[in-house]
Amino acid sequence: MTLLVSVLTATLFAVFGPPYVLYQYWFTWTPIGTIVGTVIYLALAGGGGGFLGWFAAEVAMKASPTQNPWVDGIIYGIAGSFALRADFSSRHVRSTSPHQTEMTKAASLLNASLKWTTSLLDTRADRAIETWVNHLPIKSLLTEAYKVTARINRQEIDDKAKNALNTRLVEAMELARSAGVKQEEGRSRVRDYVAEFMSANHTPRPGVMRSPKPAPKPSPPRKSPAQTGPTEAGST
């Protein structure tokens, strides 16, 4: 029972590991891949973290903080979640027991697996962005480019860097609108710029998460005097 509670607690903490913007970014671009990747992530973080916390207390230290399996499981799950987020890369940390050495190796392996899973989700989303941008008609592509320039202007970055980014994009947009031999080069540069910006800023797919606005209700037609019945005419 303690191990189960520990795993469930670590899984709950794992849900709040990636920020919401990443869940939104992944799901709008690759919904099926995000579901599969999230299940893998929660299995590694929840199962692995919960087991690490339980193993450290019950097996390595043979401790039971409260003698209550529910409370102990929650404590172990929290401890295991924090253990997965710790930095085990330092070679100067010396283990005091064989159990601690094995736990450190397991935590490092799980941590690397979690990073690999999130990297997989990012890569799948990036590929979906590239495919989407490459299939945009020129008018829609330029619309997305204008949105990028607006977002750049809202960002809190150095003015010099902001002007350089805007100049690079505006030049590409001018080439994309031209009718000469440079047109395809300009469109390719705009596509690359838009895709790169959306990937770097974890931009959700446009239009996917927006709920449509309800259409306004039409006002009832007014009745003309000729349509007024005898009862209404007599009442007036």
Residue-wise pLDDT tens digits, 174-212: 888 877 778 888 888 899 989 999 999 899 998 765 544
B/e letters for 37-70, b = 16+ CB within 10 Å, e = fewer, are bbebbbebbbbbbbbbbbbbbbeeeeeeeeeeee
Average confidence (pLDDT) over 24-36: 93
Q: Within 13 Å and on the Cβ side, how many CA atoms surround 225?
A: 2
Domain ranges of the chain: 2-126, 136-200
Residue-wise pLDDT tens digits, 62-100: 666 677 778 877 887 887 777 776 544 333 444 445 555
CB–CB of 175/185 below 8 Å?
A: yes
pTM over 0.75: no
Residues 6+ apart with CB under 8 A from 28: 204, 205, 208, 209
Between 20-29 and 31-42, two packed helices, what is the crossing angle to 10 degrees? 140
Cα distance between residue 236 and residue 233, in whole Å: 5
Task: Tell me the residue type at 156.
Answer: E
